[in-house]
Amino acid sequence: MDRAAGPSGVTIRFYRREGDAPVAEASGLAPAWEIRSWRPARDGAPPDGPHTMQNLVWFAFDRLGLFSSHDFEELSVWRGGRMLHRLIVSPRWFRFPFMAAGDLQIGALWTDSGVRRLGLARAAIAEAHRRHAAPGRAFWYVTDAGNAPSVALAEACGYRLAGEGRRTRPLGLPLFGQYRLEWPTAPPGC
């Protein structure tokens, strides 16, 4: 078992990017493709769609004050009434104790299998950075170390490896688990 592997034997990689670093322009989106946004703090209850039930949970978390800020956002890319890509931007909450109060995490990425490798994830991440950039804020990207496409995406978007760790599962329940950064990398220049 790897030194950072959790109970499931999976090593988690933690990537970080400074929030005020320049962000490359979103590219790869055809004019017919649209980026949609839903923010519980601004828009209220989630609209009907493919992730309505999951978004009701995020809505409740926002209303209950479980996030460190009201910056939660779902960004999705659509064409012709069909969702092609989705990601969420989440503030610190109990699952991500390694984050500072103002930091944000890019996660829950999904891309329709028919449009993969067209740059939709990179475009959506660039848009998330454009919308949420702030001095002193860091963006985090957490992924299984063995997920080569996800690792490559993080690195292509300017994220740097901050360390490795594991995902906990108290009493075998992933719902109450946390992502634990246990082996940080040395800061640049050391």
Q: Tell me the domain boundaries of the chain.
A: 24-138+149-160
Distant-in-sequence, close-in-space partners of 34: CB < 8 Å, separation ≥ 6: 77, 78, 79
CA 166 to chain centre: 16
Query: In the 8-state DSSP scheme, what is residue 81?
Result: T
Q: How confident is the model at residue 28 (pLDDT cuts 50, 70, 90)?
A: low
Q: How confident is the model at residue 19 (pLDDT cuts 50, 70, 90)?
A: confident
3-state secondary structure (DSSP) of residue 100: coil
Question: What integer best gives the mean pLDDT of the chain?
Answer: 87
Burial degree of 102 (CB within 10 A; 0-12, 13-18, 19+): middle
Strands 104-111, 82-91: pairing kind: antiparallel
Buried (b) or exposed (e) across 103-117, using 16+ Cβ within 10 A?
bbbbbebebeeebee
CATH tag for 24-138+149-160 (out of 2.30.110.10, 3.50.50.60, 3.40.50.2300, 3.40.630.30): 3.40.630.30
Q: Which residues pair with 143 in a beta bridge?
A: 13
Q: What is the pLDDT of residues 175-185, one digit of tens each?
A: 778 999 999 88
Q: What is the pLDDT of residues 34-45, one digit of tens each?
A: 999 999 999 999
Query: In the 8-state DSSP scheme, what is residue 40?
Result: H
Take residue 119 and report the two structure tokens written for it.
Answer: 């740059």
